[in-house]
Structure 1
Amino acid sequence: MSPMSAVVEERPPPVLGKGHGGMPARRAVVRWAWRLFRREWRQQALVLVLLVIAVAATTAGLGYAGSAGDPQAATFGTANRLATIGSTGAQADADLATLRTSFGTIEVINHQKIPVPGSATAYDLRAQDPNGPYGRSMLRLTAGRYPQGADEVAVTPRVAKTFDLRLDGTWDQGGRRRTVVGLVENPLNLLDHFALVAPGQAGADAQTAVLIRSTEQQFRAARKPDGMSAQFRGTQTDPGTVPVLVLATIGLLFVGLLAVAGFTVMAQRRMRALGMLGAIGASHRHIRLVLVANGAVIGATGAIVGAAAGLAGWAAFSPRLEPLIGRRIDRFDLPWSAFAAMLLLAVLTAVGAAWWPARAAARVPVVAALSARPLPPRPAHRFALAGLALLAAGLGALFTSHHEEPPYLIGGVLGVATGLLLLAPLGVAAAGRLARFVPLAPRLALRDLARYRARSSAAVAAITLAVGIAAALALAAAVSVAKAAAPAGGNLPADQLVVWLGPSGLDGPVPETTPEQEAAARQQVDVIAAALHATSVLPLQAAMDPHGPQVGDSGGGRPVSQMGIGRRETIGGRTMTQYSSSEADPLVVATPEVLRHYGIDPASIAADTDIVTFRASYDGYDLIPSDRPDWRPKVQHADLPAYPSLPGSLITAHAMATLRLQAVPGGWLVHAPGPLTQAQIDRAEETAQRSGLTVETRPTGADVARVALFATAIGIAVALGVLAVTVGLIRSETARDLRTLTATGAPRRTRRALTAATAGALALLGALLGTAGAYLALLSWHHRALHWLGHPPSVALAAILAGLPAVAYAGGWLLAGKEAPALSRQPLD
């Protein structure tokens, strides 16, 4: 018998799910995904629109954050030090020569005050070279030309309006006539109101400021004039870009949750086609690639279109934003690295949202895929365990943050949010188990939610995220309102306000005023007091060092004395004493009016007493500023108010003489007959702003409460939008079940009840999870003072827990009409 032989004419087909087919197979699958995207772009329009909106909004937000710029540039220009010399005449020339020898290139700017009739503030007459080496960025010509001669001036629009000036007109100021040759502005600070003259044309009493650029070592080693003070330009950070990216991440997470629901429905619609693809030899990797490539196309399209829309909108809107932020905006000066990160994040969001349904679809057996049956839901406890762990970790981080550690705060918020999102499947499963206790239509709706858990859980997670943010803001606002209403604590009593001459009260420089300006300011204070029916108006005087350096480039004023705890710190190679504002007391002069107001007999104060205060002692405190570092005040205790903005520490005439300080007007304490309302505060602030004054009151919390209600309304609107999208997906996915109900004689009201119950159940689940998460987060945050949470925002919580489900149910009932004709035919794959 002859031997037998066998010849294999062709390679056997690869085992299903094992082969990969190489690059040609992947290209074929990607081309098919692209054709599906073009054919079914309407079904994917929702995800596209959401991505476009998120990317466009983030682009505008990055533009706004980038437009803030460096606030110090409006004063320093491109220099990093601003020196002030107090000398005049020949001594000033000698001091400037010393600075030129020490630092080389410098820029000299002279400032002279221009009193404003009827106002406590003064404008700045500025002698500056428009082409200076460091300060040219602080000048911009809007009309006319820069002044060149001795009798020429350019003014900002506010100065022109105040003194009724126009181009080519004449300005008689201080007995000197000048021709207005131009309109100028500081593009880095549109609130900088000044008049510009040629270099050297300021008055003899002008203050000399010098812009310098040098390193710390050079500045220390350089020879400097006696009596010179210098301000150092701090390191500029970009605090605006990071919050925008954080908000963009939250927004894209929300979009991703909705995209998961959309991609899940699309995967179910394509199940038969995917099964056919697997039947002809496609691997699991190829099936995943179909949906992931589709997600990448959607993400890239949304990112490109959204970026274009955002850039166009920012270019059109940014000019209107300039008056609000007080500086000129370079429309194309965007943080491009953050912009690129945002585009990449948008694409990754779409890819990530498509990957999870793609992973589930790739694991479906071929026979089950060809039958297009719904997949059995995955056990909810797998997500619940991870969600509980993340929620506990987030709450623990908030608990240990002590309101001061940013890493713990950020990690806590992210942990709580992610934990709640992972608990959404557990809530959907629980709703499915409760279906047996409700009537027929709600029973079918709840079981459908549990049956299509992947899509339902994503929708509940999105609603939870929107509602949780709104509920947290409402609870935080309620805490603020409760603190404002508390009888103790706060900066001021509820029935008092202070009208300050300076913008920072006695914590910053107090402007030097003429008697006429002081009288004009007191007149405005009397107007405020009359509107409040005030029972008393108490003048407050500050202790100022007349020989100290003046602060600000437009005559901002001189620093006043403070008592504060000093701690040594090294910043930028320099060791200095930093003072904590929470532990510093502005020293108010112990005038007879102040002593009489608080019932203190002047005869009871010892002749050598320096400070009268509510504190027991001032051991360990330093007086700033002082040329007597070894001076330790003698303190006498008195019954003075402990509010931070009230005169709780008084400096006596003995200390004023010892430290060579001068009493200057600081503000007025106005006492109303009852607690101030928000309307009264608004009117007082409006009156004060017209005269350049600053009003300080105890916060009422009304503004925060209004913002919280607005945020609650936005959260509910977003949740309703999610419901509209989700219910539409559910109706398209359960069309066969609706046809079966119709065939068995179910009336229209049953179909309406199904849709309404679905929307109401999703809204209720999201509202409960979001509110519970917000309460847990606030409990961890306020664990040391839980009593503040005893004042719940009833209106906001009622709107979330009752109003949102009710509106969702009613909307589902009204919008669920006759079945669309397209649902009566099964589409071919």
Structure 2
Amino acid sequence: MSALRAALRIARRDAWRAKGRSLLIMIMIGLPVLAFTVASTYTATGDLDPRERTGWDLGSAAALVTDTGVAGPIRQSPTRSSWFTGLNITEPGLAGPDERPPMTEAEIEAVLGPGARVIPSRQVSEEYQERDGYRGAVVREVDARDPITRGMFHLLVGRFPQADDEVAVSDRIGAAVGSTLRVTRNGVAKRVVGVVADLPASVGHGVRQIIALPGTVPVRGNPDLERGWLVESREPFTWDRVLQMNQKGLSVLSRAVLDDPPPIGDGLVDAVEEPGVRWNAVQTVTLVTAIMVIEVVLLAGPAFAVGLRRRRRELALIAAQGGSARQLKLMVISDGLVLGTGASVLGAVLGVGVARVVVTVLGQWPDGELGPFEVPLGQVALVVALGTLSGLAAAVVPAVQAARWDVAAALADRRDTRRDRAGRPLLGAILVVAGLAALTYGVWNGENAILAGALLGQLGLVLVTPWVISRIGPLARRLPLPFRLAVRDGARNRGRTAPAVVAVMAATAAFSMVSVVVASDVVRWEQTYRYSFAPGTTAVYGADVTEESWRAIRPIVAKTLPGVPLVEALRPVDEKGESLSVQLTDRGCYECHVSKGSLDELPLGGPDLLRYVLGRTDPAAEAALAAGRAIVFNPAAVRNDEVRLHLFSRNMSPDAGSVRMSLPATIVKVDGPTEVAGVAPASAFTSRGYAVKLSHLLVDPRIKRLSPAEEQRLSAPVRAVTSRVAVTVERGPRVEIGQRLLVFVIATAVIVFGATFTATALAAADSRRDLDTLSATGAPPRTRRAVVAGQAALIAGLGVPVGLLAGLPPGAALAMRAVIQFHHLPPDTALNGYRLPSPEIAIAIPWLTLVAGAVGLPLAAALVAGLFTRTRVRLSRRVA
């Protein structure tokens, strides 16, 4: 029998005998494996690759040919619908300047050659009407009865459309078969004849579908734009054939290309990432992997040390019978291999099972949100290998210790008189300094350097910790006897104390780093928060709320807030009844982001709205507003006593289909930034042929501020009228740090207690004879409990504060990096031209949380360890 095989058998039997210790080690190694397996399996199931999407994109067709309308060659992606004309990638519908008339069906068939059959297929964004407004939907114009579409839709109830006035809808729309659905803002009536399943999450979760025959839905814009054709062909559409069709301005999504994509290279949109991007990704993966392995090693190391101490006599017997130091090391390392492999495999299997349950609960298409269940075997195999590597690495230090034991002392059950090494403090200090330098560099150059700095600093502290422990013994001379014994025992046995302190330190360092990052994010959010309304305002608003709904809402608001005046804000509407946004053409800052809330840049209203926006009464401004002049706060927006505006639908960009107009304007001076650019009179728009509609009911905070309970009493009945309306009270940024850190606090506490109790059990077992001697000489049981509690307090008392301090530099570096990245964005300006403050280089440290952890965790660990300590004296025979 080979030495390795014998060592593995011994390790397996020992793991079965010491079930509690083995379970602890397997949990520490297996939990990260389980969590990663669940996350990766769920992600792979929800993320469909192009081949898995083939059914929804192509049905049973050989290809989907899209007429881009470009009069020249295009270049396209082999797996997506994106294409470009030579320089910039163009999304569907944004053709370049060289356009041509759309091809007819006969022209498409002529290009495809003999033996090809095509049917039109087009997908456009439109709306349908509900009781209280309009909702967005995707209109799929295709004859779903044709066999070529098989697999595109999963029919739940009814049938597919076969007449111009019929549609089938997705289940999310909620329209029953036989009901009437009004499509587009023109209210075109369609009879619902079928219901199909919703799309999977990665294909279009939340997207409502309307299926109609080609050309039966009057869509907005150019109806010939981006016309598509499903193709049935005897010949497969190879990549060479796709490139030929690109020369005629046709984009092709080919089943044959999806099954066998061409190599990535020149001429493809799916180009290989830049070398710098790939290298950054490799760096990130390497650093995260290293940090994961080191953290697991630090956590599992003390548990291996406990097992090593308990097997001390067994290993000494093997050494006495001729076992070499190499064989002793092999036996201990075999423990890591057996437990690491078992924990990793079990964690992966359980992770797949948990993921299967999660996917089953959420559902798979066609009845749920996810795609086909998929286990990423490569990723799972990698994490299993990392778990096994972690187990092996965690057993290395105990293996080296086993090879150095005094065999005679171990057989006589005496304490090993050899001194543990005091670490390598100089090398550790150098690594700590290098880590701080990497953190400083990373603040200005990237997160990977920060991760590397945190890793270097952690390794440096690992090397310094034994030296620190060796220096605390003389400091215990003034402590009470039990705690003096505990401190000196820990300092004398650095080999078992240091791994436990390092494990606690690693957990609390991660907690401290995350605490600083979260707290700093909150501060930055508060600094950059942009108010939608004046602070304290109560707003009832909705751009698509119908007049019938407003007539029902007004009495509710009046009843809930008796005697409180309501400020009205209006919006213009076009001839279709669609709300229009009003924006300034000139702001005086063309490279700036614009802070804008739901009131839009220039709301329409009367003197009450102007008083609310200004926060004061301005008779001259109110007179100008009554005279039909717009009140504008930004002098740069007014030229020749006029302000230029453009009006556009909320479903269109400001530069597409907008209407330009000018209004006479009066400039009013304001102090500081405001939420709007000014106020315009409704008469200025109605005189130009626009209708106006109510969009906001506001309660001035100077008159009434609602409490959360009052807000709830107002919101519930208002929201019951229509889901298109919102009720809110502008209370500014509200973020609770404690809630966001609760998960990290619990996880850190579990790890700290686990590492502390494991090391305390090791210390209690190792110093059992001293404790028995203490009890035999008349010490009461509480003294024995106090000694064990002192050992736990020593481990947690060193590990927790040092770890909390060690986590502050990388946390601060990440927080500063986030602020610097924010400053690289274009400057932000208010609508009235005032510069809004940018976030400062502020580092927020939750001192109360950190101090509570530094004091509370060691005290709790000591209390629990003392309460559960055995005080019965066990008689044993000693060998002189």
TM-score, structure 2 length as denominator?
A: 0.67
Contact 2:143 2:213 in 1 (8 A): yes
Matched, 1:377 2:390: no
SS at 2:218's partner residue?
coil
SS at 2:122's partner residue?
strand
Do the aligned partners of residues 719 and 309 (structure 1) sit closer, same or farther apart at CA in structure 2, a change above 3 Å counting? same
Tell me how far apart the structure 2 counterparts of residues 140 and 186 of structure 1 sit (CA, whole Å): 9
Matched, 1:438 2:488: no
State the shift of 1:127 in Å: 3.7
Do the aligned partners of residues 738 and 808 (structure 1) sit closer, same or farther apart at CA in structure 2, a change above 3 Å counting? same
Tell me how far apart the structure 2 counterparts of residues 414 and 677 of structure 1 sit (CA, whole Å): 48
Tell me how far apart the structure 2 counterparts of residues 523 and 71 of structure 1 sit (CA, whole Å): 48
Deviation string for 1:228-263 (max 9, x for gaps)?
Answer: xxxx99999999999999988766644422311122
Matched, 1:388 2:418: no
Deviation string for 1:16-71 (max 9, x for gaps)?
Answer: xxxxxxx9444444444444444445432210133233322221122333345379
Give the paired residue count.
747
Tell me how far apart the structure 1 counterparts of residues 587 and 290 of structure 2 sit (CA, whole Å): 41
SS at 1:303's partner residue?
helix
Tell me how far apart the structure 2 counterparts of residues 391 and 142 of structure 1 sit (CA, whole Å): 60
Residue number in structure 2 paired with 1:448: 489
Aligned ranges 1:499-578 → 2 under 5 Å = 513=544, 517=546, 520=549, 537=567, 539=569, 541=571
Residue number in structure 2 paired with 1:773: 806
Do the aligned partners of residues 675 and 664 (structure 1) sit closer, same or farther apart at CA in structure 2, a change above 3 Å counting? closer
Residue number in structure 1 paired with 2:676: 647
**Selected match of 1:340 from 356, 362, 381:** 381
SS at 1:185's partner residue?
coil
Aligned ranges 1:187-198 → 2 under 5 Å = 187-188=200-201, 192=206, 194=208, 196-198=210-212
Matched, 1:460 2:490: no
* AA in 2 matched with 1:807: A
State the shift of 1:346 in Å: 0.6
Contact 1:298 1:350 in 2 (8 A): yes
Do the aligned partners of residues 40 and 771 (structure 1) sit closer, same or farther apart at CA in structure 2, a change above 3 Å counting? closer
State the shift of 1:737 in Å: 2.4
* AA in 1 matched with 2:676: P
Do the aligned partners of residues 65 and 109 (structure 1) sit closer, same or farther apart at CA in structure 2, a change above 3 Å counting? closer
Deviation string for 1:291-338 (max 9, x for gaps)?
Answer: 222211111111111111111111112233469xx9622463233332
Deviation string for 1:713-750 (max 9, x for gaps)?
Answer: 44324422333333233323332222222222221101
SS at 2:128's partner residue?
strand
Residue number in structure 1 paired with 2:760: 727
Matched, 1:761 2:794: yes
State the shift of 1:692 in Å: 3.9
Tell me how far apart the structure 1 counterparts of residues 500 and 42 of structure 2 sit (CA, whole Å): 31
State the shift of 1:777 in Å: 3.9
Contact 1:116 1:123 in 2 (8 A): no
Do the aligned partners of residues 681 and 735 (structure 1) sit closer, same or farther apart at CA in structure 2, a change above 3 Å counting? farther
**Selected match of 2:27 from 49, 63, 67:** 49
State the shift of 1:580 in Å: 7.2
Of the structure 1 ranges 47-56 and 339-348, higher mean CA displacement relative to structure 2 is found in 47-56
Do the aligned partners of residues 522 and 418 (structure 1) sit closer, same or farther apart at CA in structure 2, a change above 3 Å counting? farther
Deviation string for 1:106-164 (max 9, x for gaps)?
Answer: 7313565321112454556654455899998874444555444556544334433xx5x
Contact 2:582 2:602 in 1 (8 A): no
State the shift of 1:350 in Å: 0.4
Tell me how far apart the structure 2 counterparts of residues 365 and 315 of structure 1 sit (CA, whole Å): 52
Residue number in structure 2 paired with 1:691: 723
Tell me how far apart the structure 1 counterparts of residues 151 and 554 of structure 2 sit (CA, whole Å): 38
State the shift of 1:349 in Å: 0.7
Contact 1:34 1:294 in 2 (8 A): yes
Tell me how far apart the structure 2 counterparts of residues 524 and 466 of structure 1 sit (CA, whole Å): 53
Do the aligned partners of residues 408 and 818 (structure 1) sit closer, same or farther apart at CA in structure 2, a change above 3 Å counting? same
**Selected match of 1:69 from 43, 47, 56:** 47
Gaps of 5+ in 1: 1-22, 225-231, 503-512, 548-554, 568-577
Contact 1:187 1:328 in 2 (8 A): yes
SS at 1:411's partner residue?
helix
**Selected match of 1:810 from 863, 866, 875:** 863
* AA in 2 matched with 1:803: G
SS at 1:49's partner residue?
helix
Matched, 1:117 2:112: no
Tell me how far apart the structure 1 counterparts of residues 878 and 635 of structure 2 sit (CA, whole Å): 82
Residue number in structure 2 paired with 1:702: 735
Tell me how far apart the structure 1 counterparts of residues 48 and 307 of structure 2 sit (CA, whole Å): 48
SS at 1:456's partner residue?
helix
State the shift of 1:458 in Å: 2.5
Contact 1:241 1:338 in 2 (8 A): no
State the shift of 1:819 in Å: 3.8
Contact 1:262 1:455 in 2 (8 A): no
Tell me how far apart the structure 1 counterparts of residues 869 and 758 of structure 2 sit (CA, whole Å): 13
Deviation string for 1:522-575 (max 9, x for gaps)?
Answer: 96699689878987545364899x99xxxxxxx9999986879999xxxxxxxx
Aligned ranges 1:72-83 → 2 under 5 Å = 79-81=80-82, 83=92
Tell me how far apart the structure 1 counterparts of residues 395 and 588 of structure 2 sit (CA, whole Å): 57
Tell me how far apart the structure 2 counterparts of residues 190 and 676 of structure 1 sit (CA, whole Å): 39
Residue number in structure 1 paired with 2:37: 59
Residue number in structure 2 paired with 1:222: 249
Residue number in structure 2 paired with 1:304: 345
Gaps of 5+ in 2: 59-78, 83-90, 113-117, 230-238, 252-267, 640-644, 647-652, 820-838
Residue number in structure 2 paired with 1:4: none
Tell me how far apart the structure 2 counterparts of residues 779 and 159 of structure 1 sit (CA, whole Å): 48
* AA in 2 matched with 1:155: V
Do the aligned partners of residues 400 and 150 (structure 1) sit closer, same or farther apart at CA in structure 2, a change above 3 Å counting? closer
SS at 2:787's partner residue?
helix
SS at 2:197's partner residue?
strand
Contact 2:141 2:214 in 1 (8 A): yes
* AA in 2 matched with 1:738: L
Tell me how far apart the structure 1 counterparts of residues 462 and 726 of structure 2 sit (CA, whole Å): 46
Contact 1:590 1:651 in 2 (8 A): yes
* AA in 1 matched with 2:81: N
Tell me how far apart the structure 1 counterparts of residues 324 and 516 of structure 2 sit (CA, whole Å): 51
Tell me how far apart the structure 2 counterparts of residues 751 and 413 of structure 1 sit (CA, whole Å): 39
* AA in 2 matched with 1:691: S
Tell me how far apart the structure 2 counterparts of residues 260 and 676 of structure 1 sit (CA, whole Å): 56
**Selected match of 2:602 from 589, 599, 612:** 589
Deviation string for 1:786-812 (max 9, x for gaps)?
Answer: 895578453x34531333233223212
* AA in 2 matched with 1:185: D
Please give the root-mean-square deviation of Cα atoms over the aligned residues, in Å. 5.9
* AA in 2 matched with 1:44: S
State the shift of 1:703 in Å: 4.2
Identity of aligned residues (%): 23
**Selected match of 2:306 from 235, 242, 265:** 265
Contact 1:154 1:197 in 2 (8 A): yes
Deviation string for 1:170-196 (max 9, x for gaps)?
Answer: 547568573544342122367536464
Do the aligned partners of residues 496 and 766 (structure 1) sit closer, same or farther apart at CA in structure 2, a change above 3 Å counting? farther
Residue number in structure 2 paired with 1:7: none
Tell me how far apart the structure 2 counterparts of residues 396 and 747 of structure 1 sit (CA, whole Å): 54
State the shift of 1:445 in Å: 1.4
Contact 2:624 2:630 in 1 (8 A): no
SS at 2:676's partner residue?
coil
Deviation string for 1:763-789 (max 9, x for gaps)?
Answer: 332331233234444444566888955
